[in-house]
Amino acid sequence: MPWSHRLPDAARLHASYGQNLVALAVGLGEVDRPLGVLDVGANIGDSALQILAKADARVLCVEADPEYLPYLERNVGLDGRCVIEFGLLVSDAAEAYGLGAVRNGGTTSFVPGGGGAAPALTVADLPGRHPQLPPIRLVKSDTDGHDTRLIPPLARAYAASRPVLFFEYDPQLTRAVGRTDPSAVWAELRSAGYSTVGVWDNFGNPIMVLPIEEVSARAAILDKPFKERGYHYWDVAAVHAGDLGGTAVLERLFATGKVVTT
């Protein structure tokens, strides 16, 4: 990884950082083998590597920043369990117009007037490009504010396998990239059949599990000052109402955490 990347600092200060995603993959992989994983915003491949170290998985890594592509290729490019897509994932190709990369400490935001970026890749086209992969059962999105725009179309594109949807929910960052109503994602997912949401803080500490219709009200805390909550944003995992296996995994992960029962 580049020297400027902050992953080592986060992992050293917070032992649980990023391990919620890995634990989800391990749990889902106990039933679905091999486990199909979509990693949007794969960065240097750290999530893919950790999942592959603990689960029988096949990972599709999508990355749009040419700065991190060489690191991703070096880390997972020779692993036959991984496929790399260099593309800026969008729900509509027109959305990519004028967007470029702005980097900060190992993360990348795509904003108007930024630097170079990969060619546009639409969500609808993605499943057909990799028919050799097993059904996608876990979708991870880390796209610095664009997550709520991408997650609903990803849920529709992979509806046949009812994947667990793991993504960052940061209303302030989402508004900064132009989506004025971040909470709209919950109604969209509910209409797609998703019913339960697990919530962690951005350090990977469990907060609660709750019905999807209650998430918007609970998320009001994310618009309050940092000192009132002690973390920056939420990691969330949305589970489909018909996904009994995913629901069981989520319940196990939060069994010792602060849980709001559904």
Query: What integer is the mean pLDDT of 67-79?
Result: 94
Q: What are the domain boundaries of the chain? A: 7-253
CA gap 36, 130 in Å, rounded: 11
Looking at residue 212, what is its pLDDT? 97
Q: Please, what is the average pLDDT of the chain?
A: 91
**Of the CATH numbers 3.30.465.10, 3.40.50.150, 3.30.590.20, 1.10.1200.10, which one belongs to the domain with range 7-253?**
3.40.50.150
Closest CA to 21 of 43, 5, 38, 2: 38
Closest CA to 173 of 207, 208, 223: 223
pLDDT digits (tens, 9 = 90+) for 112-166: 777 776 788 999 999 999 999 999 999 999 998 899 999 999 999 999 999 999 9
Mean pLDDT comparison of 9-18, 86-95, 127-136, highest-scoring range: 127-136
pLDDT digits (tens, 9 = 90+) for 208-251: 999 999 999 999 999 999 888 999 999 999 999 999 999 999 99
Q: Is 225 left (phi over 0), alpha (psi -120 to 50) or beta?
A: beta
Q: Say if residue 262's pLDDT is above 60.
A: no
